[in-house]
Amino acid sequence: MATSRKSLLNKLMKHRKRLDEQPMRVQFALDPNRFKRYSASAGDILLDYSKNRIDEPTMEALFELARAVDLEGRRKDMWAGKHINSTEDRAVMHMALRYQGDKPVKIDGVDVTGPVQDVLKAMKGFSDAVRSGAIRGATGEQFTDVINIGIGGSDLGPAMVTLALAPYTRADLRVHYVSNVDGAHIHDTLKGLDPKKTLFIVASKTFTTDETMTNAATGRAWIAKALGEAAVADHFAALSTNLKACADFGIKSDRIFGFWDWVGGRYSVWSAIGLPIAIAVGFENFQAFLKGAYEMDQHFLKTKLEKNLPVIMGLLGVWYRNAWGFSTHAVLPYDQRLSRFAAYLQQQDMESNGKSVTLDGKPVDYSTGPIVWGEPGTNGQHAFYQLIHQGTDVIPVDFLLAAQPHETLPPHHAKLVANCLAQSEALMLGKSKDEVIAELKAQGVDKDKIKALTPHKMFPGNRPSNTLMYPKLTPEILGSLIALYEHKVFVQGTVWGVNSYDQWGVELGKQLAKALLPKVEGAAKADDHDSSTRGLLAQYHRLKA
């Protein structure tokens, strides 16, 4: 690239300087069409981005930036199956898993649509049979509980989706998720369950992931102790490509569902990793989930940048990260069932773009991925919104809101909607000194108390937010929302010039943990570690004793 990325990002600063003098409150007062000007749609999802520190020249500069880094070309390369995951020499083709068209989708010259459909067909057969009772446990009992054992992308995605789609689940078929190697997780999950009615799904591509296989061994021992060794085969399935390890574990070949190395873990919910979702909500709803993601893919691939939701959201994130220095981003769904959505996005975004070297291995000299966090409204309003409104750091926010609830419980949803809209308005408007004084005077507060209270009751405002609104949280809408954020990550990774599809940063801790395990177990000395680690190990052994 002839012009460095840092130089391109620095060009945004002149727009920041101008907008420093032009808060959103003023912009809304001057432009009655601001909402219309700065909103866009993809299917049934509306993005209102009018409550951002932007104007027309700013947005033009951001779209220029996207074209300068050849976002459109890299987007084309991804869909063409090129190995854009350069450090692992892999294609990045999670879009192929939910493709609904009739054209070939080739990776390394091979059309993958057939194999993808074969896996989906196998998932349908198995999930339908579990739900109907055609597949049962070793004693002939129908399964009432399914435990998915995985970690990272093999847990966060399906766990989040199953919770989000709770209205589509059955009371007599519960799906649980175990991920943490902390024995409390699997212990508390198994507590009260009946081995005769419990099915395990072990999700690990290599069937060697330490945390997953530790939990799987505990689950296997639980079944074998209660029902005998021969029962294991009837109570386990696997999402893996390591057929031999699955067979050695005791899993039948027709209960092993594979996927491909061009599917990254945090992008794998659309693959066989989604099997527990299909069991929980039914395969038709899983297909609708895939369809929603496909529709967002088509929007991302075909819509011009200026109306493209992932592009707009991604560029706004770059704007705040690099021109304004805002280091965090909050995702605040006004939907209790999306309570794991922010946790899911933490992996998707922070594992993807939490990088400090460019694709060619050079250190970056600008900020990359933000810290992503959040909780559902209205709970967050009584926790961390204080900091968002009046804290010293500005935190850009995404609000997510469905117009229709699944429940008929008035006035719950009306109050939820009112709170969501009020929060975005309050962040934008703030409350000036004059407004605070006028309000206190109207309440009959005396002059001295007004003077004392006014600084505490002022809100700076001009705090940015997006609002995503959609009719109802259906499987299709959820699929679209997840795909939207996937593509947002791609946009930002392209601008920053990093590889959004590897995760070497998770490896070092794993390596050191393996080396430390014998010392934790007391089978080896810790002489080769730093003084802190040696001291902590010594204290651990004292406390354990």
Active site positions, annotated: 351, 382, 510
Concatenated DSSP letters for 218-254? HHHHHHHHHH-GGGGGGSEEEE-S-HHHHHHHT--GG
Query: Which residues lie closer than 8 Å to 400 by C-beta, 6 or more apart?
Result: 331, 332, 333, 334, 335, 338, 341, 467, 468, 481
How many Cβ atoms from other residues are within 10 Å of residue 504's Cβ?
11
Give the C-alpha separation, 423 to 372, whole Å. 19
- Name which of 62, 530, 19, 533 is nearest 305 in CA terms: 62
Cis peptide before 378 (omega within 30 of 0): yes
CB atoms within 10 A of CB 30: 9
Nearest to 400 by CA among 354, 469, 450: 469
The answer to whether 427 and 461 have CB atoms below 8 angstroms apart is yes
| Secondary structure of residue 47 in the 3-state scheme | strand
- Alpha-carbon span 270 to 480, nearest angstrom: 12
Q: List Cα–Cα distances, 309 to 162, 290, 395, in angstroms.
A: 25, 19, 20
Residues 414, 416, 419, CA angle at the centre, nearest 5°? 110
Q: Helices 71-79 and 283-302 sit at what angle, rounded to 10 degrees?
A: 140
CA pair distance 285, 282, nearest whole angstrom: 6
